[in-house]
């Protein structure tokens, strides 16, 4: 009976170490993980070694720092896939991609920021380092802006402190107002040269962006088509929002998004 209790305790401590890794915004040193998990460095090292061996954690060969491993990311994505709105959104965005030919990603707000959970490749492939599991910045991406628009003031203030955002407070407020008014966010070669992106939120019944759908294009795609395709994406996200009881503004069009 004692050994069984010890086994359960060990699992609990292992999850604490995983939670500590997930809470770090970037690969962390052993000491930082130990402090966040409430362990001594030697204890944390033993657990991290086991987590690395199982694929739940990864240790960088150069710096020796630790981060979440592929198995942990896979489990997290599987958990997200079981959320009802995700089950509805994924095929809807896949259909949007088939109909329009535009590469589209779905992102959820993970512990480290907006995290890509699905990538639907369009008819013309887009070459980028982004992939499922990539974390996007809140302040320098269309996806991040779409999430920002529907976060509370306290959450935004916390992000500014954590990320030391270069944007002035008035600039962040302007982004948030624009996203709410137009129900979309666009950037042109801000995050990745040669790539323009437009993101549309999917809201829950509390008015929060539970997911964001972002369509991408390069110079190979005519800009003349962008407005019509944006209207289609907005319609898709509006239906998904209403599907889960969320409210969508009555008058939002691609023309207003252009102004």
Q: Across-strand partners of 106?
A: 118, 213
Cβ count within 10 A of residue 176 = 18
Mean pLDDT of 241-248: 84
pTM equals 0.68
Q: What 8-state DSSP symbol labels residue 145?
A: H
CB neighbour class for 5 (10 Å; exposed up to 12, middle 13-18, buried from 19): exposed
Residue 198 contacts by C-beta under 8 Å, 6 or more apart in sequence?
142, 184, 185, 186, 214, 215, 226, 230, 233, 257
Q: Is the pLDDT of residue 3 over 60?
A: no
The mean of the pLDDT values for the chain is 85
pLDDT tens sequence across 18-62: 989 988 878 999 999 999 999 999 999 999 999 999 999 999 999
Residue 1 has pLDDT above 50, yes or no: no
| β-bridge partners, 198 | 186, 215
Instruction: Reduce the secondary structure of 188-223 to three states and give it as a string.
Output: ECCCCCCCEEEEEEEECCCCCEEEEEEEEECCCCCH
Residues in the chain: 259
Summarize pLDDT for 174-218 with one digit per residue, the tens: 999 999 999 999 988 656 667 889 999 999 888 899 999 999 988
In this structure, are residues 108 and 135 in contact, taking their beta carbons and an 8 Å threshold? no
């Amino acid at each position: 009976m004692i050994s069984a209790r010890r086994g359960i305790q060990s699992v609990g401590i292992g999850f604490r170490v995983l939670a500590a890794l997930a809470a770090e915004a970037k690969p962390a040193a052993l000491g930082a993980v130990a402090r966040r998990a409430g362990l001594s460095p030697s204890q944390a090292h033993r657990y991290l070694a086991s987590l690395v061996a199982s694929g739940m954690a990864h240790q960088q060969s150069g710096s020796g720092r630790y981060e979440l491993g592929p198995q942990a990311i896979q489990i997290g994505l599987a958990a997200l896939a079981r959320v009802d709105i995700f089950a509805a959104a994924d095929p809807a965005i896949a259909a949007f991609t088939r109909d329009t030919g535009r590469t589209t990603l779905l992102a959820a707000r993970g512990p480290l920021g907006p995290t890509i959970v699905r990538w639907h490749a369009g008819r013309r492939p887009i070459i980028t380092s982004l992939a499922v599991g990539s974390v996007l910045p809140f302040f320098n991406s269309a996806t991040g802006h779409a999430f920002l628009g529907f976060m509370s003031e306290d959450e935004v203030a916390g992000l500014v402190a954590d990320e030391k955002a270069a944007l002035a407070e008035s600039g962040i407020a302007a982004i948030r107002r624009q996203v709410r008014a137009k129900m979309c966010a666009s950037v042109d070669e801000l995050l990745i040269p040669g790539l323009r992106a437009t993101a549309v939120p999917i809201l829950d019944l509390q008015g929060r962006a539970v997911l964001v759908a972002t369509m991408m294009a390069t110079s190979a795609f005519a800009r003349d088509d962008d407005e019509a395709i944006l209207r289609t994406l907005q319609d898709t996200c509006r239906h998904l929002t209403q599907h889960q009881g969320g409210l969508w503004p009555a008058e939002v069009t691609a023309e207003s998004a252009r102004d």
